[in-house]
Amino acid sequence: MRSSTAARTRLPGAVLVVVLLTGSILGPSPVSTAGEPDPVGVWPLSPAPSVVQRFDPPSSPWGAGHRGVDLLGHVGQTVGSALPGRVTFAGMLAGRGVVVVDHGETRTSYEPVAATAHVGDLVSAGGPLGSLTPDLSHCPPAACLHWGWIRNVDDVYLDPLLLVGAGPVRLLPLWGDRPGGSGPIAPRSVSPYAGWRPLVEVVSFSPAS
């Protein structure tokens, strides 16, 4: 009986040793820790807009999908850069104004926009790029900003909402209150991206006045 009692007494300590050894072998859990950086971007529209259509990446380079997100805005609203960077394109493309900002490892795109920024301009996060226009809107008759995020090395499209840690996303039912409408759309949420690191090279500069 004494040996059995002693064994039971030693068991919690033995279990603790096994747990500690297992943790040291396998390494830390991949779950995000408090020391990891927060999302680095800002919404291109202020205040934080409603998301009308989410990111839906294509299964192939030429496949169907939605290569970005659509954000509800209003005509003339200021569009800002989600990240600091350099403007590499500002002009008309396929009938709408487009602005592209390079951030080092990635770039972001904004359309339809009447650009006030010029190619070569350095912009800060939130720095103005132009104003939202109704041209070829993704959600007519409303004005929407189509916001894209692309990895430069292989031109893979990424979900821009990761840049702002969007968490639960409220999808706006544009036509939910019209006669015969189907009512509000149930909210959908963005899954947590534990351990995600922004694919952004921080650009150091003094923003132009």
Sign, Cα dihedral of 112, 113, 119, 121: negative
Q: How many angstroms separate the CA atoms of 114 and 107, rounded?
A: 19
Are the beta carbons of 172 and 72 closer than 8 angstroms? yes
pLDDT at 166: 67
**Domain boundaries, position 69:** 51-189
Q: Looking at the domain assignment, is residue 34 inside a domain?
A: no
Domain count, the chain: 1
Coil, helix or strand at residue 138: coil
Q: Looking at the domain assignment, is residue 3 inside a domain?
A: no
Q: In CATH, what number is assigned to the domain containing residue 147?
A: 2.70.70.10
Express each pLDDT in 120-159 by its tens digit: 999 999 999 999 999 877 777 888 999 999 999 988 888 9
Q: What is the pTM of this model?
A: 0.62
Q: Looking at the domain assignment, is residue 178 inside a domain?
A: yes
Greater confidence (203 vs 116) lies with 116
